[in-house]
Amino acid sequence: MKIKVATACLAASLLMTPILGHTEDSDADRSHPKIFVKDSVITTKIKAKLADEKLASLAHIHVDTDANGIVYLSGTARTKEEAEKAHSIAHATEGVKSVKNHIKIKKDD
């Protein structure tokens, strides 16, 4: 039961991150609300797919999408396979034009 609650909380926080935590200079797109919402939707879709995969290093992978549909992955993953899986998930998401993968491999947290 505790695991289900923790998973639900993690998923909810991941889904809210693009809305609440998107504070970079790319927020200039807010002058064009449709673009900002589109970017947030793509980011949220990717984060939800990553959560479905239950990757061990999910909390350490950051996703950001620019106005042109380019996704930037950063942070750390425990294995090369996890980093590659995150890349392939992002690339297969609707609306993504390309993926810039800057995920570093870090075995220990």
84-92 CB contacts, 8 Å cutoff, 24+ apart: 85/53, 85/55, 86/50, 86/55, 86/61, 89/46, 89/49, 89/50, 89/53, 90/46, 90/63
Instruction: Give tens-digit pLDDT for 26-53.
Output: 444 455 555 545 678 899 999 989 888 8
Locate all alpha helices (DSSP H) within the chain, ordered by sequence: 2-20, 33-53, 80-91
Instruction: Give tens-digit pLDDT for 72-95.
Output: 999 999 889 999 999 999 999 999
Q: Is the pLDDT of residue 24 over 50?
A: no
Nearest to 70 by CA among 28, 24, 101, 31: 101
Confidence bin at 12 (pLDDT 50/70/90): low
Look at residue 96 in the predicted model and tell me its pLDDT.
94
pTM tops 0.75: no
More confident residue, 31 or 61: 61
**How many other C-beta atoms are found inside a 10 Å radius of the C-beta of residue 16?**
12
Provide the residue ranges of all domains of the chain, joining segments of one domain with +: 2-105
pLDDT mean over 1-12: 51
User: Using CA atoms, how far apart are residues 41 and 19, in angstroms rounded to an integer?
Assistant: 9
User: Using CA atoms, how far apart are residues 50 and 38, in angstroms rounded to an integer?
Assistant: 19
User: Using CA atoms, how far apart are residues 71 and 98, in angstroms rounded to an integer?
Assistant: 6
pLDDT mean over 47-62: 82
